Amino acid sequence: MTVSLHNEFPPGSIEAKDLEHLLHPNTNLGAHQAQGPIVHARAKGVYLWDNNGKQYLEGMAGLWCTAIGYGEEELARVASEQIRKLSFSQLFAGKTHEPSVLLAEKLKAMMPFDAGRVFYGLSGSDANDTQIKLMWYYHNLIGKPEKKKLIAHLGGYHGLTVASGSLTGLPPFHAHFDLPLPGILHAGNPHYYRQAQDGESEDAFTTRLAQSLDDLIVAEGPETVAAFIAEPILGVAGVIVPPRGYYDKIQAVLEKHGVMFIDDEVICGFGRTGNPFGAQTMGIRPDTMTVAKALSSAYLPISAVIIPESMYEPLAAASKDVGIFAHGFTYSGHPVCAAVALRNLELLEERGIFEHAARVGETFQARLAQAGSHPVVGEARGKGLMGAVELVADKETKQPFDAGLGIGPYCMQRAMDHGLIVRGLGDSVAICPPLVITDAQVHELFDKLGKALDETFEYARKGG
Ligand SMILES: Cc1ncc(COP(=O)(O)O)c(C=O)c1O
């Protein structure tokens, strides 16, 4: 791996200042200090350039978010018009404004369930915090104050605030942070390739997971469990696609015990999996939903929690006693973010981008499946325009690489050298391009990835 030392950057350069001033989120701080940053300078469509003028094909839609691609003039126009017209307004205490209202109307019309009300946040994390608070508040109001626990997948990712970070079921996000909070539990990871027992069929695997969820709820007491939260396809875990029929079995358990289903569509929402929502691709019947990322194609930060009217009614009734619905943020429904998100959703529809993504997703999945035959790839998996390859030391036995080899980050680095941005997640390499990617660009992406896989195979063969 190329290692540029801290002192190689000229004093006063952005790289040197980065190393001096920033605490980077989700970064190996030691490796970063040794290697230095990559400075993104500009981007257009599905391409991005660093400050040395090197071009990259954006194979990760930023952080799974730049659905419409970079540099969309129409969104720049809408943002600048909204800033000139009404740069800030609020939704507290009965104030409102057009962009937030129209976006809520639009979102409700798009929902794959009977949506009643829309609450705005700024990130997937704070939206999932809101989900937890709403579950607690709602169950208190309907006379079930015991019903407070939440269950999430081991391997699931739901954000990194204190509460959403507790829902997240990946150990590095808990270590030394004193997480998860009590009352937040984790159920089996639905990754058949890694988690199935020897000789277990997909059907037997999903039945076993549903049974263990049932056992967990019974052991905790169904009267204490409020909700189960899941990503239809688990993104940060390495694009884990639960086997066919999995959610049917899970939902039967939840319904039996009166446990609600929070559908976290922060990555899967808005065309990513070949349908408008991951719920449709994976057969989920949500009670409530979280959306973020592609909601604004990441032009501005905005997220939303969508709940049914039946959940809103007790909240409204409680305001009579409490005085207000006492939850919200200064920037809940920020008018510039809402105006941009609304126009983004309109553009996705007007330009047929969901249909385009579904069609190009077939090319993407065909090339992904081909990558699965590479000698360093144990499993290639995905849906629509998201996927991952899991790198293994031995294809037959599924033997993983020695963790010290840093195989995922190595492959990611090789891809960068070839002008492709992908994301190393443990031993997996995730791919999630903007939805506007063309067939030709999908081929370019997998050709570049193929070179990175060849080099990774060579590196591993030589022992790293
Ligand atoms: C499924 C899911 N939920 C929630 C989040 C948290 O979103 P944010 O990083 O905007 O807080 C993410 C982020 O990647 C996510 O993938």
- Looking at 303, 326, 350, the residue that finishes a domain is 350
pTM of the model: 0.97
Q: Atom 4 (ligand 1): residue with closest C-alpha?
A: 158
Mutating to test ligand 1, I would choose from 267, 270, 277, 299 the residue with most ligand atoms within 8 A of its C-beta, which is: 267
Q: Are residues 202 and 253 in the same domain?
A: yes
Q: Are residues 53 and 114 in the same domain?
A: no
Ligand 1: distance of its center to the CA of 65 in Å?
10
Residue 13 in any domain: the answer is no
- Rounded distance, CA 179 to CA 170, Å? 11
Q: Which atom of ligand 1 is nearest to the CA of 124?
A: 7
The average confidence (pLDDT) of the chain is 96
Residue 31 in any domain: the answer is no
Q: Which atom of ligand 1 is nearest to the CA of 123?
A: 10
Mutating to test ligand 1, I would choose from 293, 296, 300, 337 the residue with most ligand atoms within 8 A of its C-beta, which is: 293
Which residue, chain included where needed, has tokens 């209202």? Answer: 101
Banded pLDDT at 8 (limits 50, 70, 90): confident
Per-residue pLDDT averaged across 292-316, rounded?
98
Ligand 1: distance of its center to the CA of 76 in Å?
24
Q: Which atom of ligand 1 is nearest to the CA of 63?
A: 14
Residue 206 in any domain: the answer is yes
- Looking at 328, 350, 372, the residue that finishes a domain is 350
Residue 27 in any domain: the answer is no
Counted domains in the chain: 2
Helix (DSSP H) and strand (DSSP E) numbers for the chain: 16, 15
Q: Are residues 129 and 181 in the same domain?
A: yes
What number of other Cβ atoms are within 10 A of residue 12's Cβ?
A: 8
Residue 200 in any domain: the answer is yes
Q: Are residues 106 and 188 in the same domain?
A: yes
pLDDT at position 7 is 59
**For 201-229, what is each residue's pLDDT tens digit?**
999 999 999 999 999 999 999 999 999 99
Q: Which structure tokens are listed for 63?
A: 């952080």
Say yes or no to pLDDT of 2 above 70: no
Q: Are residues 345 and 282 in the same domain?
A: yes
Q: Which residues pair with 120 in a beta bridge?
A: 304
The CATH number of residue 402's host domain is 3.90.1150.10
Ligand 1: distance of its center to the CA of 128 in Å?
9
The domain containing residue 413 runs over which residues?
38-71+353-461
Q: Are residues 317 and 369 in the same domain?
A: no
Which residue type occupies 346? E
Ligand 1: distance of its center to the CA of 231 in Å?
10
Ligand 1 binding pocket (C-beta < 6 A) is 63, 123-125, 128, 157-159, 231, 235-236, 264, 266-267, 292
Q: Are residues 200 and 345 in the same domain?
A: yes
CB 200 within 8 A of CB 166: no
pLDDT at position 4 is 46
Residue 9 in any domain: the answer is no
Say yes or no to pLDDT of 57 above 50: yes
Q: Are residues 419 and 440 in the same domain?
A: yes
The CATH number of residue 336's host domain is 3.40.640.10
Ligand 1: distance of its center to the CA of 158 in Å?
5
- Rounded distance, CA 92 to CA 428, Å? 43
**For 418-428, what is each residue's pLDDT tens digit?**
999 999 999 99
Q: Are residues 294 and 371 in the same domain?
A: no
Ligand 1: distance of its center to the CA of 9 in Å?
33
- Rounded distance, CA 212 to CA 223, Å? 17
Q: Are residues 110 and 62 in the same domain?
A: no
The CA distances from residue 134 to 43, 138, 304, 318, in Å, are 38, 6, 13, 13
- Looking at 325, 350, 375, the residue that finishes a domain is 350
Ligand 1: distance of its center to the CA of 192 in Å?
23
Q: Which atom of ligand 1 is nearest to the CA of 235?
A: 16
Say yes or no to pLDDT of 415 above 80: yes
Residue 278 in any domain: the answer is yes
Ligand 1: distance of its center to the CA of 92 in Å?
25
- φ/ψ region of 315 (left if φ > 0, alpha if ψ in -120 to 50, else beta) reads alpha
Per-residue pLDDT averaged across 260-265, rounded?
99
Q: Are residues 66 and 125 in the same domain?
A: no
Q: Which structure tokens are listed for 29?
A: 């701080």
Ligand 1: distance of its center to the CA of 241 in Å?
17
Residue 230 in any domain: the answer is yes
Report the DSSP pairing between strands 184-187 and 149-153: parallel
Q: Are residues 362 and 423 in the same domain?
A: yes
Q: Which atom of ligand 1 is nearest to the CA of 292?
A: 10
**For 317-371, what is each residue's pLDDT tens digit?**
999 999 999 999 999 999 999 999 999 999 999 999 999 999 999 999 999 999 9
